[in-house]
Amino acid sequence: MSDAASSAPLLPDAAPAGVRAFVDALVRAEPAQRDALPAALARLDPGELDALGAWLDFRVAHGRDVVQLAEDYLALMRMFTEEQFAFQRSGAYRNSTFAQALEEVYRRPDEMQAYMEGLATSTFLWSNHLEMYRFFRTTFPAGRGGRYLEVGPGHGFFFRHALEVGAFDVVRGIDVSETSIALTRQVLEHFHPGLQDRVELTCTDFLDATALEPGSFDVLVMGEVVEHVEDPLTFLRRLRDLGTDDAWFFVTTCANAPAPDHIFLFRACDDIRALLDEAGFAVVDALELGWDGRDPVKCARRRLPINVAYALRKA
């Protein structure tokens, strides 16, 4: 298949060269992507196509190549599919302790790097991830100042947006993985050079970050973390306590969505809402999405994945 023939019908003429090269690499590595990609690419507006291009260019500038990035994305898809089949049979996540997640994922730099890069790409190509990213951008209190805290920035997408549209004096990021901290730092240096003096990134378990002062943060974000911990209630309570009385919080998680580092199984949106309530949060805005456009209540009955995102305040 020639370069021109491989991606030409899938992308508008104005698509960034990096996206075109990535799509070519995906289709070459797995020809079945040619059937899946048109719908995924058609969902992206021009700004999102540019943002995907900027992300890919950024990774390439840091020594990755598009073929590797395409393989990482496909590996992530295969991993989720295999885990989902096993989960359908067993009804349980394979791992249940933080020690297992550390051992299998967070302490393996190469795997963690590929995982975070694949996840970053999925933000654009998986409809639920794209919707959650859009929801974050539309609900985020742009222009808000004060102190920003993010737990588990991972690939740094939320972190980057907060820096772009916020006016924070202090920006803190806490992540248990050295790889995630390094990636977030690279994101910052690449997209926001000059802001380093306001930003502090710390590699530690959030519950061990005891020096953070209660009631001291104005905006607090925790994307896809509570399913990674043994005791999400303690995590959420700690997050709540760190916010000022009128803080804006944003939390995302998932149900019935197995992965090696997903150790707490939520089965339905109601489980998650009940936990948020118990932790002392009130839901301001909610996005609850079943797998492949399905009703989340029906997904819960059939053990199918559900993605959720909540903008919250203190109750």
- Binder among 52, 187, 220, 225 for ligand SAM (CB under 6 A): 225
d(C-alpha 43, C-alpha 51), whole Å: 13
Shortest CA distance to 304 belongs to which of 76, 40, 39, 87?
Answer: 87
Single-letter amino acid, residue 291? W
Q: Which stretch in 8-16, 62-70, 147-155, 298-306 sits in contact with ligand SAM by CB under 6 A?
A: 147-155
Q: Does 117 bind ligand SAM (CB under 6 A)?
A: no
Q: Does 256 bind ligand SAM (CB under 6 A)?
A: no
Q: Which stretch in 52-60, 175-183, 188-196, 269-277 sits in contact with ligand SAM by CB under 6 A?
A: 175-183
Looking at the Cβ atoms of 27 and 133, the one nearer to ligand SAM is: 133
Near ligand SAM in 72-111, by CB under 6 A: 106
Sign of the Cα pseudo-torsion (25, 26, 31, 37, in order)? negative
CA distances from 28 to 67, 69, 122, 293 (A): 9, 13, 18, 28
Q: Which stretch in 46-54, 153-161, 162-170, 303-311 sits in contact with ligand SAM by CB under 6 A?
A: 153-161
Q: Does 228 bind ligand SAM (CB under 6 A)?
A: yes
Looking at the Cβ atoms of 22 and 158, the one nearer to ligand SAM is: 158
Q: What's the closest the beta carbon of residue 158 comes to ligand SAM, in angstroms?
A: 6
Q: Does 133 bind ligand SAM (CB under 6 A)?
A: no
Q: What's the closest the beta carbon of residue 307 comes to ligand SAM, in angstroms?
A: 10
d(C-alpha 60, C-alpha 177), whole Å: 22
Q: Does 16 bind ligand SAM (CB under 6 A)?
A: no
Q: What's the closest the beta carbon of residue 246 comes to ligand SAM, in angstroms?
A: 24
Q: Which stretch in 68-76, 78-86, 150-158, 210-218 sits in contact with ligand SAM by CB under 6 A?
A: 150-158
Q: Does 187 bind ligand SAM (CB under 6 A)?
A: no
Looking at the Cβ atoms of 24 and 175, the one nearer to ligand SAM is: 175
Q: Does 206 bind ligand SAM (CB under 6 A)?
A: yes
Looking at the Cβ atoms of 115 and 168, the one nearer to ligand SAM is: 115
- Site track 22-51 with ligand SAM (rule: CB under 6 A), x = hit: ------------------------------
Q: Does 177 bind ligand SAM (CB under 6 A)?
A: yes
- Binder among 16, 18, 153, 296 for ligand SAM (CB under 6 A): 153
Query: Contact positions toward ligand SAM, by CB under 6 A?
Result: 106, 119, 151-155, 158, 174-177, 180, 205-206, 223-225, 228-229, 252
